[in-house]
Each structure stands twice: as structure tokens, then as C-alpha cells.
A = this chain, B = another copy of it.
Amino acid sequence: MNLNSFDHWRTEVLAQVDQGLDQCLPKADQIPTTLHRAMHYAVNSPGKRIRSLITCASGDLFGANIADTLYSAVAIELIHTYSLIHDDLPCMDNDELRRGKPTVHVAFDEATAMLVGDALQPLAFNVLVNQETRLDYETRLKQVGVLSESAGSLGMVGGQAIDLSQIGMNMTRKELELMHSKKTGALFFASAELGALCGKTYAESFEGPLRAYARQIGFGFQVVDDILDASSPTEVLGKSAGKDLRDNKPTYVTLFGLNRAREMASELAKNIKDTLALLPREGGHLSDIAKLVFDRVY
């Protein structure tokens, strides 16, 4: 599989996911209009959609095409988007810039930003229930189970709680990775698993490798994020640079230094290859996505 075919596939996925997201939201002129406008504003930000790519790539490995996995990808993006909005609020990270645009509480107000997040979350589960695919009831229900677990206090939200409690603290690599496995890894796993569940050839024996992939790509994503935060200007990042250090947050860079963090990124990129070898077609586009994560510049 050459990069060219990946680029083509990726463009197709992103176009369909953007369209799917737009269609799943209530129209912006529906009451309450401010809330719905803000939901569209949040969802339409030009993100990297790594999670959607993972969902569709994982489905592709097990015989599901983009249309089969589209709603799963949309559900994941809705959860991810809500988490960013809440994470950016003044009582959390207090960020004013996200994906190069003012954050939701800056463009609207704090209460609206909170409600946008609160509304995107159940919408994600609703999308899984009502998706226009051939998935049977049992599989849809399994998807709701995986996503709700990943999004909860033992998954993503739990990771954010650990993150908050660690400001100004020293952490071992193990502790840092426990945090990231929840904060980022849980939703990456849900992305892979929801996509895989759309495929007819998916078997439980692949859950382990998918979980390992999600974990490693989650770490990779974070270590690269931490490196970029410490070494890139705001204009390139599309969000405030150097913020981790100012906020006294433990990151791969603040804990271990820039050089060691770069070494860790290389190690992870190597390890993820072993995991991909356990999957059909050596991970297919999941392998391309790993390259994307480790090579990204913003």
C-alpha cells in the first residue's frame, strides 16, 4: 500500500466524516439557536480527525467500507469534540485558541460552551443507536458499551481528572503513561474497536492488538504533542504554544527533557510496528496513521 493511496482514502474519509457530522447535528436555526450554532461551530473546526481515520482504517481491516464505519467515526468525533470544549474552559486548561480558532467559550460564553459539550455527548450515543447501517442490535449495543466505558471515569474523563491532580507534581514514566492511557488511549481504543465491530471478519482475538495499538498511538500522540508544545510557535500549532511549561503540567518534555522525549517517540514508533504485525494486512491504513502521528508537524 503506497502513501498515495492512503492520501486518497484519507481525503475521502475526512470529506464523508465532515458531512456526516453536519448531518447528525440539529440544524443551526432550530431552537435553541445559539446552542445549535455553537454546536456547529465546535464540530466544524478543521481538526486532524485522527480518531475517525482510526475507526475507518480499523473497519477496513475487517471488511467494512467507509459508509459502514462512518457513523461510528462521527460518534467518536462528537465525544472528542465535547471533551476539547470542556477541557478548554477556564476552570480546566483555560485555553483561548483551538485548531487556530477562538475556543467555544471565547466565541460564545462559558455556559454555552458547557452545554454544547453536554449536548454533544448524548448525541454520540444517539448516532450509534440510529445509524443507517446494516449493523444488528447486538453490535450497536456493544458499540454503545465500548464508547460509554471509554468516555467515563475509568477512561477519558478519569485521565483528565488525573491530569488536573498532577499539576506541579513529579511523575514517573509509568504514572504519566497510566494517565495518557486513560486520557487519550481509551478513546483511541474505542475508535479502533467501534470500527472493527462494523466488519464481518472481526474476531475477539484481534482486540488485544487493537488495544495495544491504541495505547501506543496514544502515547505517541502525546509525546509528539509535548515535543511540539515545547518547540513550535503558536502560529504553527494553531493553539497556544509553551503552555504546558507555564501551566506547570507534567509532560514527557517537562519530566524527561526534550532529547529523551524525542528518543521515547522513536522507541514508540518502533514498538508500534510489532503490534501492527499482529493485525491483518500488517495493520493496513492503521500503519499509515501511525506514520502520520509520529511525523506530524502540527
Please give, as numbers and ranges, the residues of chain B lying within 8 Å of A26 by CB-CB distance.
153-154
Check A144 against B118 for contact (C-beta < 8 Å): no
Check A117 against B119 for contact (C-beta < 8 Å): no
Check B121 against A118 for contact (C-beta < 8 Å): yes
Residues of A within 8 A of B (CB): 26, 30-32, 34-36, 39, 82-83, 86, 89, 91-92, 109-112, 114-115, 117-119, 121-123, 125-126, 128-130, 136-138, 140-142, 144-145, 147-149, 151-154, 157-158, 160-162, 164-165, 178
User: How far is A119 from B125 in the complex, measured between Cα atoms in Å?
Assistant: 14
Q: Which single member of B35, B137, B145, B153 contacts A161 (CB below 8 Å)?
A: B35
User: How far is A152 from B30 in the complex, measured between Cα atoms in Å?
Assistant: 13
Check A114 against B137 for contact (C-beta < 8 Å): no
Starting from the known contacts A32-B161, A86-B114, A129-B144, 8 additional A-B residue pairs (CB-CB under 8 Å) come to: A32-B158, A35-B161, A36-B153, A112-B161, A112-B164, A121-B122, A123-B153, A141-B144
The 4 closest A-B pairs by CB, nearest first: A91-B110, A119-B153, A137-B137, A126-B148
A159 to chain B, nearest CB (A): 8
User: How far is A44 from B148 in the complex, measured between Cα atoms in Å?
Assistant: 22
Scoring A86, A122, A136 by chain B CB atoms within 10 A of each residue's CB, the highest score goes to: A122
A18 to chain B, nearest CB (A): 19
Residue of B nearest to A150 (CB): B122
User: How far is A83 from B145 in the complex, measured between Cα atoms in Å?
Assistant: 21
User: How far is A158 from B142 in the complex, measured between Cα atoms in Å?
Assistant: 28
Q: What are 15 A-B residue pairs whose CB atoms fall within 8 Å in the complex?
A: A26-B153, A35-B157, A86-B114, A91-B109, A92-B114, A112-B164, A115-B153, A115-B160, A119-B157, A122-B148, A122-B157, A123-B153, A129-B148, A137-B137, A141-B141
Please give, as numbers and ranges, the residues of chain B lying within 8 Å of A148 by CB-CB distance.
122-123, 125-126, 129
Please give, as numbers and ranges, the residues of chain B lying within 8 Å of A114 by CB-CB distance.
86, 89, 91-92, 114
A8 to chain B, nearest CB (A): 35
Check A130 against B145 for contact (C-beta < 8 Å): yes
A38 to chain B, nearest CB (A): 9
Residue of B nearest to A79 (CB): B122
Q: Which single member of B111, B142, B152, B164 contacts A111 (CB below 8 Å)?
A: B164
A133 to chain B, nearest CB (A): 13
Please give, as numbers and ranges, the residues of chain B lying within 8 Å of A86 by CB-CB distance.
114, 118
Check A144 against B161 for contact (C-beta < 8 Å): no
Given A161-B32, A162-B31, A141 contacting B129 (CB threshold 8 A): yes
User: How far is A151 from B31 in the complex, measured between Cα atoms in Å?
Assistant: 15
Please give, as numbers and ranges, the residues of chain B lying within 8 Å of A126 by CB-CB distance.
144-145, 148-149, 152
Check A153 against B121 for contact (C-beta < 8 Å): no
Given A91-B110, A110-B91, A115 contacting B161 (CB threshold 8 A): yes
